[in-house]
Homo-oligomer: A and B are copies of this chain.
């Protein structure tokens, strides 16, 4: 069985982990968002890809929800001391990855090649692909102005209401090698419980991505990132309310209009009505077992 998963950060990483656990080695391909990649202290940081890599490799901090377990922050403290930017939290362990990736990118390696090497170094059989090797950067349009994603999310603590998203570079962004093939060849295409606006839409904005997913619609299932109409983490519920008028499963499904054959929702959001078939289960991945159970439900929903 071949499974592809479109993933943002933490929620996506957890489901990717569950999928990896229930599938045979090598059956899973994770296609990660790069719209929130950011250059910090001269390093190319890819928060969503890293969340996926760390979770799949068992290195992630489950309590904090992002970054590596057992992390320390000494290099960042030193950088601040020397006058460096300190707004974006880069841990010492995390830095090791950013250094290796940035060095490789500067020599001209595409992000997909670098990511493949990182996954290999971690001993992963799962393929991790950036949606694109080209620069695609998400900005957030708010009443107070338009901000690069991480400035809005981290520096401004995603407090500004969101009117729209802009994916700069999307027009010219081609899918990374293997991305379209992974979607076309997948027996099941899973849209992870990530924020549709900030994590999944920038993936779909890459040239040819949306059309390829549409063609596989019957085999595509999304997992709603809401539980009881609330975001598990982050600003999604406020964004949905403002931009789509509500936080019901129907509102979530509308974010994936024409793209999915089913939507998996949490028991707390049922019963509900929607244009697409709904599958009801426990979607909160409180531990690795819960992620595995959700993965099984998702794969059954496609079958």
A41 at the interface (CB under 8 A from B): yes
From B42, B68, B78, give the contact of A96 (CB < 8 A): B78
Q: Tell which of A79-87, A188-196, A227-235, A256-264 binds the partner.
A: A79-87
Given contacts A72-B74, A74-B72, contact A100 B79 (CB under 8 A): yes
With both beta carbons as reference points, the residue of chain B lying nearest to A93 in the complex is identified as B78
Is the Cβ of A99 less than 8 Å from the Cβ of B75? yes
Is the Cβ of A102 less than 8 Å from the Cβ of B72? no
From B84, B94, B95, give the contact of A100 (CB < 8 A): B84
Is the Cβ of A99 less than 8 Å from the Cβ of B72? no
Q: Would you call the interface of chain A mostly helix, strand, loop, or mixed?
A: helix
A194 to B80 CA separation, bound complex (whole angstroms): 31
Given contacts A72-B92, A75-B93, A96-B77, contact A121 B42 (CB under 8 A): no
A64 at the interface (CB under 8 A from B): no
From B42, B81, B92, give the contact of A78 (CB < 8 A): B92
A38 to chain B, nearest CB (A): 13
A294 at the interface (CB under 8 A from B): no
Query: In A254-275, which residues have CB < 8 Å from any B CB?
Result: none
What is the total number of residues of chain A having a CB less than 8 Å from a CB of chain B? Answer: 33
A150 to chain B, nearest CB (A): 16
A97 at the interface (CB under 8 A from B): yes
With both beta carbons as reference points, the residue of chain B lying nearest to A99 in the complex is identified as B41
Query: In A57-92, which residues have CB < 8 Å from any B CB?
Result: 68, 72, 74-84, 92
How many monomers of this protein are in the complex? 2
Q: Mark A29-53, 1 if CB is under 8 A from B, else 0.
A: 0000000000001110000000000
Is the Cβ of A96 less than 8 Å from the Cβ of B81? yes
A196 to chain B, nearest CB (A): 31
- Residues on B with beta carbons closer than 8 Å to the beta carbon of A117: 83
A111 to chain B, nearest CB (A): 14
Is the Cβ of B100 less than 8 Å from the Cβ of A83? yes
- Residues on B with beta carbons closer than 8 Å to the beta carbon of A92: 72, 74-75, 78, 92, 95
Is the Cβ of B74 less than 8 Å from the Cβ of A118? no
Query: In A105-121, which residues have CB < 8 Å from any B CB?
Result: 106, 117-118, 120-121
Given contacts A81-B96, A81-B121, A95-B95, contact A106 B75 (CB under 8 A): no
A244 at the interface (CB under 8 A from B): no
Q: A76-B96, A82-B101, A83-B100 are in contact. List 13 more A-B contacts (CB 8 A).
A: A41-B103, A68-B78, A72-B72, A72-B74, A74-B92, A75-B92, A75-B95, A78-B96, A78-B97, A81-B96, A82-B100, A83-B121, A95-B95
